[in-house]
Amino acid sequence: MSLTIATAGHVDHGKSTLVEALTGSHPDRLAAEAARGLTIDLGFGAAQLPSGRTLSIVDVPGHERFIRNMLAGVGAIDACLFVVAANEGWMPQSEEHLRILELLGVSQGVIALTKVAICEPDIAHLAHLEVTEKAAGTFLADAPVVPTDVPTGIGLQELRSELDRLLDRTPVAANNQRPRLWVDRSFAAKGAGTVVTGTLGGGPLHIGEELLLHPNNHMVRVRALQTHHQEYASIAPGNRVAVNLTGIGYQQINRGHVLVKPAQWHLTNCFDASVAILSTLNHQVSRRGAHTIYIGTSELPAKMRILGQQTIEPADTGLVRLYLQRKLPLLPGDRFVLRESGRAETIGGGTVLDVAPVLAASKANPDGSIHRLIAERGWVEAKELALLTGQNHQPTVGRWLVSPSLLEQTKIKLRQAVADAGSVGLDIATCSDKERAVLGLLAEVVISNGRARNSAQPDPFQDHPYIVALQSALFAPPSPVDVGVEVLEARELTKRGLAIEQNGIFFAAEAVVEAQGVLTEMLHNKPEGITVAEIRQRLGTSRKYALALLAYLDANGITRRREDVRIAGPRLTGPA
């Protein structure tokens, strides 16, 4: 099992120092971080736990000025290591980080109470009580609080054991065979080329497979895979992963880009979602203002339309439609955080419900259910539904899933159409693909020769009198009028393969077979070709009928015309 966690907490509470103690390497990578003694960007490390398992840790900055980097680090994590310094206690970024983690759906964590050795015991005890009070009612309510101090080694072994237990109680990363890697770093590795890193979700990655990079819409190939500096042929979801890519330069990839398999995801820049507004906010939330959305490792300006109301109060939830500057591969259930840029504050966050809304915002009432999604669309192809939901569903009609009410309406419409067509039957060529699929569900309807009719209705073309008449005079056939048959009815016989029509003259299907046999024999004796007169005489017919029949045979490759004679065509066969 693999697990990725992130640190969280106020600036200078010892997150990076604690990560260094757990992993053996300091997570700060930038010269500016070393110079200022302040974490600015994301850092990464791997800790060996007492069980022998490895824990991936994303270290995030605690300063409010770098909240965007913190959000990029926690967008795809499973759990957290929440850090509070005993000498300072709960601080503003402690509160904001906790709320952000809740908005993103993080459900497990361990609390490290750091710097306990520089505090009087009663101060550390008060800090412990404060942390417990602040965590009450949140996902950290039952999280263990471990007093630690890196310089003296206090609590480090206990913290490792608690992280081991955290791994046990955190759900395994979902594997839907739809990998998605939100990129948090891109760089050039000596001798390898372009490398991107991120926390893998959705499904495994394999060496050699082709991936699509968004928003570039650029095809790349996986050259190599690493996790914790070890190379693997494939890596499962839930791991921190470094992907060596071919087909693109590292300068073309930025944080917030995303790798997916082609044709597996719906790309959207407009989606419906539920939003929870923070209780600590001191004002209503409306569509006014400049908003920024954080989803995965992406940070994008967003326009927001509140659905069904004008404002959302603090501590309330509501439905919104969000419009982004560029398209992202999203699914229902994806979590995000919203900040108001003008006030530089986190206002709330939520869950994606519909990645391709079809109703106008004034009518939309999304709830994330498959039934509502189908009902709003009426008909949805199973392949399209898999893109919209990330789940595979069995079609209910043909290749579609259809709402029960619309299916019943279609059945009623088709039953009436079949009834109106009478014994002739409904020409299914006039039906749409969806209607033809529904016809197959009607037990009382039979489909034969391209016609749908009620099974209680006799087939009017079975033993049809015009066919009898044509068969009785194969090479001197009567016209439809001669036997009291409408031309349209006669043409229906040709659609069923019972007759042919050429130059306005109808022949029984048997006439073609009989003529083919006669011509085969004649051309065997005279391969250089036979004249129309010879054919007319042999068939015992007139020139009018002979020419019409030969025109049909020529058109179908049974004979070929060469000047004034007919020779064998490529499809000529012996007598039936």
In angstroms, what CA-CA distances link 284 with 277, 310, 311, 464, 555? Answer: 9, 10, 6, 78, 77
Check pLDDT > 90 for residue 60. Answer: no
Check pLDDT > 60 for residue 277. Answer: yes
Check pLDDT > 70 for residue 27. Answer: no
Check pLDDT > 70 for residue 110. Answer: yes
Check pLDDT > 90 for residue 409. Answer: yes
Q: What is the mean pLDDT of residues 474-493?
A: 88
pLDDT, the chain, mean: 88
Query: How confident is residue 495, by pLDDT bands cut at 50, 70 and 90?
Result: confident
Alpha helix (H) residue ranges in 91-153: 92-103, 121-135
Q: Hey, what are 410's tokens?
A: 């279609």
Query: How confident is residue 109, by pLDDT bands cut at 50, 70 and 90?
Result: very high
491 against 253, higher pLDDT = 253
pLDDT value, residue 39: 47
Q: What 8-state DSSP symbol labels residue 332? A: T
Rounded to whole angstroms, how far apart are CA atoms 516 and 243? 67
Q: What is the mean pLDDT of residues 220-238?
A: 91
Q: What is the mean pLDDT of residues 29-43?
A: 50
pLDDT value, residue 104: 84
7-11, 218-222, 326-330, 422-426: segment of lowest average pLDDT: 422-426
The upper half-sphere exposure of residue 212, i.e. CA atoms within 13 Å in the direction of its Cβ, equals 14
Q: Which residue bears the tokens 């770093």?
A: 185
Q: Hey, what are 364's tokens?
A: 């939309």
- Cα dihedral angle (353, 358, 360, 362), rounded to 10 degrees? -30
pLDDT value, residue 72: 62
Strands 267-277 and 345-354: antiparallel
Query: How confident is residue 405, by pLDDT bands cut at 50, 70 and 90?
Result: very high
Type of residue at 211: L
Check pLDDT > 50 for residue 167. Answer: yes
User: Does residue 167 contact residue 143 with C-beta atoms inside 8 Å?
Assistant: no
131-145, 149-163, 457-471: segment of lowest average pLDDT: 457-471
Rounded to whole angstroms, how far apart are CA atoms 531 and 550? 11
189 against 84, higher pLDDT = 84
Query: How confident is residue 36, by pLDDT bands cut at 50, 70 and 90?
Result: very low
459 against 192, higher pLDDT = 192
Using alpha carbons only, how large is the chain's radius of gyration in Å?
Answer: 37
pTM value is 0.77
Check pLDDT > 60 for residue 46. Answer: yes
Length of the chain: 576
| Interacting residues of 566 by C-beta distance below 8 A, sequence separation 6+ | 519, 523, 529, 530, 531, 532, 535, 550, 553, 554, 559, 560
Check pLDDT > 50 for residue 55. Answer: yes
Q: What is the mean pLDDT of residues 520-546?
A: 93
pLDDT value, residue 280: 86
Query: How confident is residue 497, by pLDDT bands cut at 50, 70 and 90?
Result: confident
pLDDT value, residue 220: 96
CB atoms within 10 A of CB 36: 12
pLDDT value, residue 62: 47
CB atoms within 10 A of CB 253: 22
Phi, psi angle pair for 102, to nearest 5°: -65, -45
pLDDT tens-digit profile of 435-482? 999 999 999 988 876 788 887 776 666 678 888 899 999 999 999 989
Query: How confident is residue 83, by pLDDT bands cut at 50, 70 and 90?
Result: very high
Type of residue at 2: S
Query: How confident is residue 73, by pLDDT bands cut at 50, 70 and 90?
Result: low
352 against 572, higher pLDDT = 352
Query: Does residue 68 sit in helix, strand or coil?
Result: helix
Helix (H) or strand (E) holding 500: strand 499-502
With a pLDDT cut of 70, the percent of the chain lying above it is 92
Rounded to whole angstroms, how far apart are CA atoms 539 and 281? 97
Of 105, 256, 260, the closest CA to residue 176 belongs to: 260
Measured N-to-C along each axis, helices 543-555 and 532-539 cross at an angle, to the nearest 10 degrees, of: 110
Q: Between vectors from CA 228 to CA 227 and to CA 229, what angle results, nearest 5°?
A: 90
58 against 328, higher pLDDT = 328
